[in-house]
Amino acid sequence: MDNQQRSSININGAGTATGGSVDEVKINGSGTITSDLDCASFFCNGTSDVRGNVKAERIKVNGTASFQGNVNAGKVKVYGTCDIEGNLTSGEVLVSGSCGIKGTVSGESIEIQGSVSIAHDCEAESFRGLGSFSVDGLLNAGTIDIELYGKARAKEIGGEKITVKQGRRFGIGKLIRSFFAGAHELHAGTIEGDEIYLEYTRAKVVRGKNVVIGEGCEIDEVEYTSDLKISQDAKVRGHKKI
């Protein structure tokens, strides 16, 4: 249906609306959507609760949003707090605030500048982590670039090019800094890729073609097929060429 033929939902105080197929959803107060929602854009500047699945071209959360089902969107940007009970599928995901997903996450580009927890797998073409995150399943992406400003964790990590470095940036905003308390480390069970560079990483197994184990790492076992370099400031309990 053409967006011009759709109605819009605007909630500026406290209100409730049914979902359905609409053009634009704007919530500036406290709003509840009682069923599945199909829209061009969803903007939350207050508090929102969507009790169903959401399909949208654009989602932007500046306040607090709760989605009770699956979310499928072209772009998702979270600057506040967002909770998703189901799966998140999006071409582009940017989280500068806090986001919790109880399902899986899949997308083309995922960037984390705040705090994200994912209860299952996370898969993307590119994954960039500048904040704190936890993935209880597999983190899989063609390119994985992690700059540690807090604790990061994944059960398994797989990709073509994997880079993990300790954060060296300054001038981070107050909101982002609030998520970065504690040790700046990555914890993983298995890390597997073609080109791997690691700093401040604790893992059971690292497996790759060309592997660099940099400063601050503690690795139980490294398996490599071409080249291995180990920093004097790293601890590797065992390694072998396969």
pLDDT tens digits along 38-93: 999 999 999 999 999 999 999 999 999 999 999 999 999 999 999 999 999 999 99
pLDDT at 94: 98
Given this model, what pLDDT does residue 3 score? 43
CA 37, chain centre distance (Å):
23
Cβ contacts of 178 within 8 Å, gap of 6 or more: none
What is the model's pLDDT at position 105? 98
**pLDDT attached to residue 169:** 64
Those residues of the chain that have pLDDT short of 50 are: 1-3, 170-182
Buried-exposed string 186-217: b where 16+ CB fall within 10 A, e elsewhere: bbbebbbbebbbbbbbbbebbbbebbbbbebb
Whole-model pTM: value is 0.90
**Tally of CA atoms within 13 A in the half-sphere of 161 that contains its CB:** 5
